[in-house]
Amino acid sequence: MKLSLPKPLEAAVPIVSRLEESGYEAVFVGGAVRDTVIGRPVKDVDIATSARPEQVMALFPKCIPTGLRHGTITIVHEGETYEVTTYRQESAYEDYRKPSGVAYITSLEGDLLRRDFTINAMALRNDGSVFDPFNGAGDIERRCIRCVGDADARFQEDALRMMRAVRFIAVYGYQPAVSTWKALRKHRELMRHIAMERVQAELDKMLAGSDPRRALVWLHASGLLHKMKEPLPLTEYMRVDSTRYGLVEQLADLDCRWAAALLDSAIPSAIADESLRLLKLSNNRRLRIIGIMRMHEEALAAANNEGADWWAETVIRDGKQLAEDWLLVESAIHASAVTPIDLKILKAQLNEFPILTLKQLDMNGRVLAQRLRKPAGPWVSRCLHRLLVSVAGGKLVNEREKLLMQAELWDKEDKSDE
């Protein structure tokens, strides 16, 4: 097989050529080769070579020893960075994740043998010829995800490969080889050795992919999330169902996709919150996702009334941006089918609210306390908030005298109830 090099690989040809001219073997490897064979856009370009790290550094003026311990040197060429790694074999793995050490070798096939899946174990030379000792191209043609060599050994070496397998199944629309899927199900207990941050990173990639629905269905079928280092409460709500997850892929934003997937699994926001904490999402991301979910729950609770006060309260509390995020998510998962609240009306109201902050209110606490002849206290903030909601909801005009008159009326009503 001979291929035309895409532009990102062409740009790196001088690096490969320099290594070859100096008597070393050098090839493109990894995802760039896989995507070139498939015909997908190439992102990161990685190079493998028979040259040792010190030999690589001697050939290029701009080098960064980013992964010297594992034989990786980053070369800066015409403003771009490229990782160049010496052919290597890996010793026994520690904690089912990382090798305890590496040994440099001169065999390209030996280097490819340590990789996870056949579609990732191909090499591409400068002239476009493909070195494919494990028939990765054949598996691409068959649309199959298959481990290199013994699947049991690959997953026992690095348990995170099981999550990667599910991601590749989804991203490329492939099916797992029977031996690979059996080994994945057999060794899924090993996920308890994997840091939650690494799991979260893989989940992000799955949800950000072109077919998040497929990723979630296969993830559920794998049972991997039930075997985490820290048990995730959300797994109690998960089930395999290809009809679920609405149109999650219509959402461009990753956190909106998270919220949509969690809502479509009918996971309560409190359970989702605890699970996202365990997955080590940043506070900003977690609060945004949970904020969207709580808006959904509040919308369902408000379904039996006009919802105007609820909507104004929500937007004032959480902000216009989160409200816009919720409307996008709600539309994608077709939640409007289970509530009489009209999303179009809410969207129109969102753009028509006259004010949304206390600073915009033609009133302040000092003026309010003076008018009602009452000492300042918690009642002031409660009254101002109530006035703000009424103005935002269109029940009051934002004029000081009218606001004061309404505050006096509420005060009289409160006294009569005492």
Could you tell me the pLDDT band of residue 340, with boundaries at 50, 70 and 90? low
Is the pLDDT score of 398 beyond 80?
yes
| Residue 352 in tokens | 């028509």
Q: In this structure, what DSSP letter does residue 374 have?
A: -
Read off the pLDDT of each residue in 182-187 and give the average, rounded to a whole number: 97
Read off the pLDDT of each residue in 272-301 and give the average, rounded to a whole number: 95
316 and 382 housed in the same domain = no
| Nearest to 102, CA basis, from 113, 86, 116, 115 | 86
Read off the pLDDT of each residue in 160-177 and give the average, rounded to a whole number: 96
Read off the pLDDT of each residue in 179-201 and give the average, rounded to a whole number: 96
- What is the H or E stretch that residue 83 is in? strand 80-86
pLDDT of residue 193: 93
Torsions phi, psi of 174, nearest 5? -95, 170
Is beta strand 88-90 parallel, antiparallel or unpaired with respect to 93-94? unpaired
265 and 336 housed in the same domain = yes
pTM of structure: 0.87
344 and 363 housed in the same domain = no
171 and 288 housed in the same domain = no
Q: How far apart are CA 155 and CA 176, in angstroms?
A: 14
For the domain that residue 184 is a member of, what is the CATH number?
A: 1.10.110.30
Could you tell me the pLDDT band of residue 305, with boundaries at 50, 70 and 90? low
Residue that finishes a domain, picked among 124, 139, 154: 139
301 and 386 housed in the same domain = no
Question: What single letter denotes the amino acid at residue 87?
Answer: Y
Structurally, the chain folds into a number of domains equal to: 4
| Residue 343 in tokens | 């999303």
User: Among 47-51, 145-149, 339-343, where is mean pLDDT lowest?
Assistant: 339-343
Q: What is the pLDDT of residues 209-241, one digit of tens each?
A: 988 989 988 999 999 999 999 999 999 887 655
9 and 84 housed in the same domain = yes
Is the pLDDT score of 79 beyond 60?
yes
Could you tell me the pLDDT band of residue 345, with boundaries at 50, 70 and 90? confident
Judge contact between 249 and 211, C-beta under 8 A: yes
| Nearest to 177, CA basis, from 228, 210, 134 | 134
Is the pLDDT score of 250 beyond 70?
yes
Is the pLDDT score of 383 beyond 50?
yes
36 and 50 housed in the same domain = yes
Could you tell me the pLDDT band of residue 387, with boundaries at 50, 70 and 90? very high
| Nearest to 179, CA basis, from 224, 141, 145 | 145
| Nearest to 131, CA basis, from 110, 146, 149 | 110
Largest CA distance in the chain: 96
pLDDT of residue 257: 95
| Nearest to 309, CA basis, from 406, 399, 380, 396 | 396
Judge contact between 70 and 90, C-beta under 8 A: no
4 and 126 housed in the same domain = yes
Residue that finishes a domain, picked among 302, 329, 353: 353
101 and 113 housed in the same domain = yes
CB atoms within 10 A of CB 411: 17
User: Among 24-33, 333-342, 362-371, where is mean pLDDT lowest?
Assistant: 333-342
In 22-52, where does DSSP find H-type helix? 31-38
Judge contact between 209 and 215, C-beta under 8 A: yes
Residue that finishes a domain, picked among 225, 242, 257: 225
Q: How far apart are CA 94 and CA 73, in angstroms?
A: 23
Which domain covers residue 206, as residue numbers? 143-225
For the domain that residue 394 is a member of, what is the CATH number?
A: 1.10.246
Who contacts 91 (Cβ-Cβ below 8 Å, separation ≥6)? 99, 100, 101, 102, 103
pLDDT of residue 191: 96
41 and 160 housed in the same domain = no
Q: How far apart are CA 372 and CA 208, in angstroms?
A: 55
For the domain that residue 13 is a member of, what is the CATH number?
A: 3.30.460.10
Is the pLDDT score of 86 beyond 90?
yes
Higher pLDDT, 389 or 304: 389
User: Among 111-120, 210-219, 242-251, 267-276, where is mean pLDDT lowest?
Assistant: 242-251
Is the pLDDT score of 242 beyond 50?
no
pLDDT of residue 188: 96
5 and 130 housed in the same domain = yes
Judge contact between 58 and 88, C-beta under 8 A: no
- Please report, rounded to a whole number, the percentage of residues in the chain having pLDDT higher than 90: 73
Q: What is the pLDDT of residues 93-143, one digit of tens each?
A: 555 556 556 789 999 999 999 899 999 999 999 999 999 999 999 999 999
